C-alpha cells in the first residue's frame, strides 16, 4: 500500500509563512508612513493654534488697557503709557535683552508719569517680534500693530486694530 503524505497535511509551509509576513510588513510600513505624516500635521496645527492664541490674547490685553484708560501718552512708537481711572499708571512695551520678544505691562502704583515700574507682568512669552502704537485723529484712536513669529517655522502673524478709549478727559 502506498502512503499519501500530502493528504493529511496540517499547518503552514515555510513559503506560505514568508509570503504572509512580507504582506504584513508592507501593510505596516504604509500605516507607519500615514501615522508619521498625520503626526507632523497635528504638531504643525498645534503650533499654529498656539501662535494665533498668543497673538489674540496679547491684542485683547492691549485693547482692554487702552479702552479703559483715562489718559494715554505715547512714549515712542513701541511704548504706550496708560493712566487708569483709579490712578494706576501702566506702560505697555516689549522687554529688553533676553526678553525682547516678551510683551509686558509695567504697573506703577505711585501714580506718577513716567511709570516707575514697581511691578510688571508678562502678557506673552517669547513670541512678539514687533509692537507699534500710533495715535490717530482728534478722536484719540490708538492704532496697534502686533507681530508674532513662530520660532520653529518662521511664520509670522500680523494683527492690526484701532481702539478708542472710552474715558478720555
Place of cell 507607519: 32
Q: Is residue 97 part of a domain?
A: yes
Which of the residue ranges 9-13, 126-130, 134-138 has the most confident prediction, judged by mean pLDDT?
A: 126-130
The helix (run of H) or strand (run of E) holding residue 18 is helix 14-67
Q: Does pTM surpass 0.75?
A: no
Q: Is residue 3 part of a domain?
A: no
61-98: string of b/e by CB count within 10 Å (b at 16+)? bbbebbeebbbbbeeeeebbbbbbeeeebbbbbbbeee
Q: Is residue 32 part of a domain?
A: no
Q: What is the pLDDT of residue 117?
A: 47
Q: Is residue 49 part of a domain?
A: no
Q: What is the pLDDT of residue 120?
A: 63
Q: Is residue 145 part of a domain?
A: yes
Going by pLDDT thresholds of 50, 70 and 90, the confidence category of residue 102 is: confident
Number of structural domains (the chain) is 1
Rounded to an integer, the average pLDDT of 138-145 is 81
Q: What is the pLDDT of residue 169?
A: 63
Which residue range(s) make up the domain with 78? 69-163
Q: Is residue 115 part of a domain?
A: yes
The pLDDT of residue 112 is above 60: no
Q: Is residue 126 part of a domain?
A: yes
59 burial via Cβ count (<10 Å: 0-12, 13-18, 19+)? buried
Q: Is residue 52 part of a domain?
A: no
Q: What are 55's three cell numbers? A: 497673538
User: Residues of the chain with pLDDT > 70: what percent?
Assistant: 83
Going by pLDDT thresholds of 50, 70 and 90, the confidence category of residue 5 is: low
> For 10-56, how does the pLDDT look when each residue is reduced to its tens digit (9 = 90+)?
777 889 899 999 999 999 998 998 999 999 999 988 988 888 888 89
Residues 6+ apart with CB under 8 A from 63: 144, 161, 163
The pLDDT of residue 68 is above 90: no
Amino acid at each position: 500500500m502506498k502512503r499519501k503524505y500530502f493528504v493529511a497535511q496540517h499547518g503552514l509551509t515555510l513559503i506560505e509563512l514568508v509570503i504572509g509576513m512580507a504582506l504584513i510588513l508592507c501593510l505596516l510600513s504604509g500605516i507607519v508612513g500615514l501615522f508619521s505624516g498625520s503626526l507632523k500635521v497635528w504638531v504643525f496645527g498645534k503650533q499654529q493654534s498656539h501662535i494665533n492664541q498668543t497673538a489674540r490674547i496679547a491684542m485683547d490685553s492691549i485693547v482692554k488697557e487702552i479702552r479703559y484708560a483715562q489718559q494715554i501718552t505715547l512714549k515712542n512708537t513701541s511704548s504706550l503709557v496708560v493712566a487708569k481711572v483709579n490712578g494706576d499708571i501702566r506702560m505697555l512695551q516689549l522687554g529688553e535683552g533676553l526678553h525682547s520678544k516678551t510683551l509686558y505691562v509695567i504697573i506703577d502704583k505711585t501714580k506718577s508719569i513716567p511709570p516707575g515700574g514697581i511691578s510688571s507682568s508678562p502678557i506673552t512669552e517669547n513670541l512678539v517680534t514687533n509692537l507699534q502704537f500710533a495715535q490717530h485723529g482728534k478722536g484719540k484712536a490708538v492704532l496697534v500693530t502686533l507681530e508674532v513669529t513662530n520660532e520653529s517655522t518662521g511664520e509670522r502673524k500680523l494683527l492690526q486694530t484701532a481702539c478708542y478709549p472710552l474715558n478720555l478727559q
